[in-house]
Amino acid sequence: MCKSQWGICGYTEEYCGVGCKSGPCIQGKRGASHSIINKTNFQCAFNDLDSATRTERFNGLKQSGWHAKNADEAAVFLAHVYHETDGLKTLVEYCAPGCGPDYAESWCDIQGAPGQLYYGRGCFQLSYPCNYYAAGQSLGLDLLNNPDLVAQRQDVAFKTAVWFYLANKMDVPAQEGDFAATTRIINGNLECNGGSEAANQQTRVATYERIRSCFGLGPPTINPTC
């Protein structure tokens, strides 16, 4: 078993390939799938973002070291990124910093650092002290004491999204084109089954259906609504 650059363990090239930290690493081995997300389809996905910011974000994705395994996964991942960041226009939750106290709750042994707020930041809007701590431990960064780093560094904005994505095993349904299953993981208690934010799910699904076309994919073959 290999430990990936995101601190998650597994057996496939995603864990044992580029960035592998320990185990039977196969450094430097790359497959054709690594070119799935390129400047052209990234521009298509984030079509209402100014070119300078889009280039900056795209470089952050490249620097993160993550690569989609197939077009379905690329569309799923970028659709969630688009939804969580208003099309990558922001890497900080719009309610910040006022909503910071809403994210002070801790369900683990870790408490927030004095003077720090843990509202949503990054491409998946990382929030709460436990998540900042866990992501930081996996990435080798002190995000508990420096949560702003998630929004200040483009690569970290994407790395924390990838950390959440892999730690919660979103990659498996994503590669199968099961968007609904990934939505259940990222925000299911609010958006799925007629939840209080069901309208947000409709927007999320519409974004996914649009971004699929950026990768030459047709309509979803699996119901994208949870």
Q: List residues with catalytic annotation.
A: 84
For residue 97, whether the previous peptide bond is cis, meaning omega lies within 30 degrees of 0, is yes
Residue that is written with structure tokens 């496939």 in the block: 12
Angstrom distance (rounded) from CA 195 to CA 189: 7
According to DSSP, residue 20 is labeled -
CB distance 81 to 54 below 8 Å: no
Beta-strand ranges (E) seen in the chain are: 2-3, 9-10
Q: Is 208 helix (H, G, I), strand (E, B) or coil?
A: helix
Give the DSSP per-residue string, 101-153. Answer: GGG---SSS--PPTT-----BTTTTB-SHHHHHHHHHHHT--TTT-TTHHHH-
Of the candidates 84, 127, 82, 123, the residue with the CA atom closest to the CA atom of residue 102:
127
CA atoms within 13 A of residue 195's CA, in its CB half-sphere: 16
